[in-house]
Amino acid sequence: MLPKKAKTCLPLRIPPQIIAAKKVFVANAGGEDSPLYTGGRDRAYNQFYAAMKTWGRYEIVSSPGEADLLYEIQFVLAPFSRQVLKGDSIGPDWADPQFRLVIRDAKTNAALWVILEHAPMAILQGNRDKNFDEALAKLIDAAQSLLRSRSPPGLCLPTEMLPYYSLRVLR
C-alpha cells in the first residue's frame, strides 16, 4: 500500500485593509421575506449587526463615508433545481438558504473578501430557525477568524491548484 501524499498549501493572504481597519459600516444587502423563517427580512442584518457590536473589534459607524470597511450582509433562498418527470416536478419547492457577507474597501468599493455560509433546510419551523442561527454564527466566526491570525485555520491555496488560481476551504 502506497503512503498518502501529504497536502501542501500556501496560506492565504488577508488583505491589509481588513487587518488595519478601525471603523466599519454594516450594510443590509437584502433578505428574503419568507414564511419559512421568523424575524422578517431584516433578521440576518439585525443579528449580524448585534454580533459586530458585541465583538467590539471595530467602531460601527452610521455612514459608509466614515468607514474603513463596508460589511454587506445578505440572506437569500437560492432556488434549488427540481427533478422533472414527464413534465411534472417531483416533491416540494425547496431552496438553498444561504448567507453572503462581502467585505469591501470603503474607499475603492473593491470586494476584499467574500464569505458564503449555507443553512440546512428543515421541515419544522423551530429547526429552520435553529439552522439559520447556527449558519449565521458560523459566518460571523469565519469573519472574525480573519483577524485572529494572518491566515485563518483551514484556509489555504493548495499548491496543486496554483495554476488554476482556485481557492478552496479545507475543513
What's the pLDDT tens digit per position in 125-147?
Answer: 999 999 999 999 999 999 998 88
Distances (CA, A) of 164 to 115, 143, 157: 20, 25, 10
Structural domains of the chain, ranges and CATH numbers in brackets: 11-169 (3.30.160)
Which pLDDT does position 163 carry in this prediction? 42
Cell of 32: 428574503
pLDDT in tens, 82-121: 655 565 555 556 678 999 999 999 999 999 999 999 999 8
State the cell numbers at 159. 499548491
Task: State the pTM of this model.
Answer: 0.77
CA distances 36 to 54, 121, 122, 126, 132, Å, are 27, 9, 9, 10, 10
Model pLDDT for residues 30-84, shown as the tens digit of each residue:
887 788 889 999 999 999 999 999 999 999 999 999 999 999 999 998 877 665 5
